Structure 1
Amino acid sequence: MPAQRKSVQCLSPTGLHTMSYQEWGDANNPDVLVCVHGLARVSDDFDVLAANLCSQYRVICPDVVGRGASGHLRNPMHYQIPQYVSDMVTLLARLDVEEVDWFGTSMGGLIGMGIASLEGNPIRKLLLNDVGPALNPVALSRIGEYVGQAVSFERFDEALAYIKSISQPFGAHSEAQWEKLARDVLRQNEAGQWIKHYDLGLGLPFKATTPEQVAAGEAILWATYDAIRSKTLVVRGENSDLLSIETATAMTKRGPHASLVQIPDVGHAPTFVSAEQIAIARDFFLSNN
């Protein structure tokens, strides 16, 4: 069953905006899996995973505001986790279900942590894909360098090479997989040039963040993590420069006492398009415990 594209209206301090999402499977299925992408990615990242799980789940894959088919914020400084959590609470209300499972890659995992830490939240199981409360500032700087950078390419093969270059930590993929990963986050402008499929204003909060704010944010994130009671799995790319093995190990000993799986020969972040990686998600979400 192909995905249906839907949308929900959300609120920011400067007004309303639209969040687009894709829905896979039976709309009446009470078993819901919400899959949320990373900082500069889109809902299409989960096409393979959603197709694999939509016979068991109603799978919901949003484009976080500022990305893909969703609207943009009037004030780009609001492109931060509290706004995304607010938007997702609105989405969860639209879904009208008692509980959900959550798959969050990088930023999507931080959003899931934020919701799962709230009293009375609906998250039953939480998969955190290569993210945790302590984030390597060097990796954040690497990501921040390209996320707000305006680029344009006359030919798709040039754009593809660019996406490959900034996404090498994803690990080995077939040429068809790389092409899809690229097409998902690129679009053609009126001049026919290939450009990024997100608001370049996403980079502004990165540039405005001080080391002191990073340190304070880490303390808040650990307090958030410690408040989670959902069954939790941390997936780490073995070569990740964002989530250290020390942080991932600490996540198994505090808060929800997460289980930990490491994926060899992958950095930040596993894409979950291979059968081996999808099996990790299936085993976690479909197990009875």
Structure 2
Amino acid sequence: MQSTAPYRDLFYTSQDGLRLFAKDFGERTSKQVPAICLPGLTRNSKDFEALASHLSATRRVLCPDLRGRGRSQYCESWSDYTPQNEMLDVLDLMGAAGIHQAAFIGTSRGGIVTMLLAAQRPNAVRGAVLNDIGPEVSIDGLKRIAGYAGAMEAPATWTEAAFKLRMMNERDFPTLTSDDWYEQARRTFAEEGGVPKIDYDAKIGTALRKGLEAANGALPDMWPQFKALGHAPALVIRGENSDILSAETMQRMEKQHPKITGVTVKDRGHVPFLDEAEALTAIDTFFATL
């Protein structure tokens, strides 16, 4: 599913002085609840272009590049890459856009930011979609991500980029075609001089590894923050082959949240792309409840 919708460039400044970027889709004057799409650890707004194109037919959709990703400014220190700082950046984005309340679609790290936001400013969260993330994260999956985040070199060509991504991920995404992997490469890397370029600050990987070292194998959970979402409709989407969100954690989420729906996307690992038929149907149903 390709993006066709136009968007406006929105630049804003964080509380600690970074120049940050977001794509602004849809009519600013729409009466429907706006959506804010928050990407994964090393990802950016490109991951949401297809979904934003779909949703912006009826509502405003903001897709930020979080600090150190895409077109947003990099931090000087790895220690500034925290979900807490990213949550504050989202509040700055809402202020710059004139939005007081939104439905949040958080993929992986973006879902963690969404749960923090619900705990700190619950009235800002009208609803939440958590894409392959929950209050507990599987340590093996996090170690896998820490193994390549900030450590991967840019491929020499786009063909090599697509091949590398396929070799790394094909087991968990078995139905993707060669064209799909090429499209995923375009979402993963930036382009500079016609060749792929890493599209995030390598210090983000450093921050993740430092955090894992400090945790010493005992990751803190986020059940209190998840419960802060209890006032709002919620949707949790899980990749069938995910090594980040377990089926057991998803079941517990469904038991503990009074207004949550759970959907598992077949033949997807971490994370579903949110252009799958079952994901789109669930998201459309979710927005219809707002």
Give TM-score, length-normalised by structure 2. Answer: 0.90
> Cα deviations across residues 2-52 of structure 1 (Å, max 9, x unaligned)?
11221111133xxx1121111111122243111111112110111111111
Which residue of structure 2 aligns with residue 185 of structure 1? Answer: 188
Report the CA distance shift for 1:154/1:54 in structure 2 as closer, same or farther (over 3 A): same
- Segments of structure 1 that go 5 or more residues without pairing to the other structure are none
1:7 and 2:11 matched: yes
2:15–2:89 CA contact under 8 A, matched in 1: yes
Which residue of structure 2 aligns with residue 26 of structure 1? Answer: 27
- Segments of structure 2 that go 5 or more residues without pairing to the other structure are none
> Cα deviations across residues 26-85 of structure 1 (Å, max 9, x unaligned)?
122243111111112110111111111111110111111111111101111211101110
Which residue of structure 2 aligns with residue 65 of structure 1? Answer: 67
1: CA distance, partners of 2:145 / 2:286: 29
Out of 43, 46, 49, the position equivalent to 2:48 is 46
2:75–2:81 CA contact under 8 A, matched in 1: yes
> Cα deviations across residues 175-197 of structure 1 (Å, max 9, x unaligned)?
4332222112213446x652311
Letter in 1 for 2:277: A
SS in 2 for 1:117: helix
2: CA distance, partners of 1:151 / 1:86: 30
Which residue of structure 2 aligns with residue 176 of structure 1? Answer: 179
1:170–1:269 CA contact under 8 A, matched in 2: no
> Cα deviations across residues 77-97 of structure 1 (Å, max 9, x unaligned)?
211101110100101112223
Aligned pairs (5 A) from 1:109-148 = 109-148=111-150
> Cα deviations across residues 115-144 of structure 1 (Å, max 9, x unaligned)?
112244311110001101110111000011
Report the CA distance shift for 1:97/1:109 in structure 2 as closer, same or farther (over 3 A): same
2:68–2:204 CA contact under 8 A, matched in 1: yes
Letter in 2 for 1:22: K
> Cα deviations across residues 134-155 of structure 1 (Å, max 9, x unaligned)?
1011100001111111413222
Instruction: Work out the number of aligned pairs and report it.
Output: 283
> What is the CA RMSD across the aligned residues, in angstroms?
2.1
1:277 and 2:279 matched: yes
SS in 1 for 2:68: coil
Which residue of structure 2 aligns with residue 218 of structure 1? Answer: 220
Letter in 1 for 2:185: A
2:159–2:182 CA contact under 8 A, matched in 1: no
1:115–1:121 CA contact under 8 A, matched in 2: no
Q: CA deviation at 1:214?
A: 6.5
1:232–1:256 CA contact under 8 A, matched in 2: no
2: CA distance, partners of 1:275 / 1:34: 21
2:263–2:278 CA contact under 8 A, matched in 1: no
Q: CA deviation at 1:282?
A: 1.1
2: CA distance, partners of 1:208 / 1:122: 31
1: CA distance, partners of 2:183 / 2:288: 27
Letter in 2 for 1:73: C
2: CA distance, partners of 1:148 / 1:182: 16
1: CA distance, partners of 2:135 / 2:213: 15
2:232–2:259 CA contact under 8 A, matched in 1: no
1:136–1:244 CA contact under 8 A, matched in 2: yes
Report the CA distance shift for 1:218/1:140 in structure 2 as closer, same or farther (over 3 A): same
1:171–1:270 CA contact under 8 A, matched in 2: no
Report the CA distance shift for 1:32/1:170 in structure 2 as closer, same or farther (over 3 A): farther
Report the CA distance shift for 1:218/1:277 in structure 2 as closer, same or farther (over 3 A): same
SS in 1 for 2:120: coil
SS in 2 for 1:38: coil
Aligned pairs (5 A) from 1:232-247 = 232-247=234-249
